[in-house]
Amino acid sequence: MPAYSVLKTRCGELSFDRTRIMGIINVTPDSFSDGGHFAGVDEAVEHAVALVAAGADILDVGGESTRPGAEPLPMAEELARVVPVIEALRTRVDVPISIDTYKMAVARAALLAGADIVNDVTALRGDPEMVRFVGSEKVPVVLMHALWPPATMQESPEYVDVVEDIASFLEDRARYAMAFGVPRESIIVDPGIGFGKATEHNLAILRDIPRFLAMGYPVLVGPSRKRFIGDLTGRPASDRLSGTIGAVAVCAAAGANIVRVHDVEAIRDAVRVVDAIVWQV
């Protein structure tokens, strides 16, 4: 693979010598693809443990849906959803746990409960206190591109050059994070598949993963079950595994460091084959 780095977390080091798999844990009743399936603490924990057994290298726990059209969730409810899950998981799994939130108070509670990574879909724009917090804690942070807020992000998204526009945005947000003490080696960038992008935008991003790798940060891509796959295949969100595998294979072949997915076992097999063929690992 391209020159790889090592991500240092409170749970240990994670090397990017192969494509890493982030398993999605939606503790929400209204996620676009699996809302309500794992909304209870026990169900979410057992599902997460199963994902690790299936090959997940990282778990990403989120309590607020950021699907197109979603409305903001009260912080107290988000805390009640994610903190018990993270507390229980920390005693049962030995992989890094990511908290999917843009709210500093939720990130702080999640780290105290045992989380290791902050996954901010607003790239530190959603809460002005978040950048100071992650800078002081020195924890890895995912900076994702999105046309915010979710309620309007899919209303006629437009770009001059989608790849260059997003790359420029992510460079700016990375510099902003570093200005507040976030170490460069703790930054992961995510072009934000499906977050304010039409199908042609998502396809352009997937064709040019190397452009994002050229920025010098680990790259996370999350194509799992996204709407563009449905547009291409005619499949509902619950039946997009084959399309997701196709998108993930492209990401792995291009050198993406992390793929964020629902169907860990099938994706694990796909990326092992791609890594062996393309990168001989």
> What count of residues does the chain have?
281
In a domain, 90, yes or no: yes
If pLDDT is split at 50, 70 and 90, which confidence band does 33 have?
low
* CATH number, domain with residue 154: 3.20.20.20
Which residue matches tokens 């003490």? 181
DSSP state of 219: B
If pLDDT is split at 50, 70 and 90, which confidence band does 3 have?
low
Which residue matches tokens 């993406």? 256
If pLDDT is split at 50, 70 and 90, which confidence band does 38 have?
low
> Is-contact 122 148, C-beta < 8 A?
yes
| pLDDT attached to residue 242 | 98
In a domain, 124, yes or no: yes
Kind plus residue range of the DSSP H or E element containing 202: helix 199-207
Question: Phi, psi at residue 187, to the nearest 5°?
Answer: -100, 130
Q: Over the range 121-144, which residues count as b (16 or more CB within 10 Å of their CB) and which as e?
A: bbbbbbbeebbebbbebebbbbbb
Residue 30 has pLDDT above 80, yes or no: no
| pLDDT attached to residue 66 | 81
- Catalytic positions: 226, 260
How far is it, in rounded angstroms, from Cα 110 to Cα 24? 16
- Each residue's pLDDT tens digit, 236-246: 999 999 999 99
Mean pLDDT of 128-150: 95
| pLDDT attached to residue 99 | 98
- Cα–Cα nearest to 241, from 219, 215, 216, 270: 270
Question: Phi, psi at residue 249, to the nearest 5°?
Answer: -60, -40
Residue predicted with more confidence, 65 or 248: 248
> Is-contact 200 232, C-beta < 8 A?
no
Give the global pTM: 0.95
In a domain, 60, yes or no: yes
Question: Which domain covers residue 140, as residue numbers?
Answer: 6-279
For the chain, the domain total comes to 1
In a domain, 1, yes or no: no
- Cα–Cα nearest to 46, from 89, 7, 14, 4: 89
Average pLDDT value for the chain: 94
Question: 44: which 2 tokens?
Answer: 């979410």
Residue 32 has pLDDT above 60, yes or no: no
| pLDDT attached to residue 68 | 75
C-beta neighbour count of 232 within 10 angstroms: 15
Mean pLDDT of 60-64: 96
- Each residue's pLDDT tens digit, 65-87: 887 777 889 999 999 999 999 99
- Cα–Cα nearest to 134, from 9, 23, 218, 25: 9
Name the CA dihedral angle for 64, 67, 68, 72, rounded to a multiple of 10 degrees: 0
In a domain, 22, yes or no: yes
Question: 279: which 2 tokens?
Answer: 């990168």
| pLDDT attached to residue 42 | 94
**Proportion of the chain above pLDDT 70, given as a percent:** 95
Backbone conformation region of residue 181, classed left if phi is above 0, alpha if psi is from -120 to 50, else beta: left
In a domain, 205, yes or no: yes
- Each residue's pLDDT tens digit, 152-196: 888 889 999 999 999 999 999 999 999 999 999 999 999 999 999
| pLDDT attached to residue 114 | 98
- Cα–Cα nearest to 32, from 252, 254, 225: 225
How far is it, in rounded angstroms, from Cα 27 to Cα 106? 14
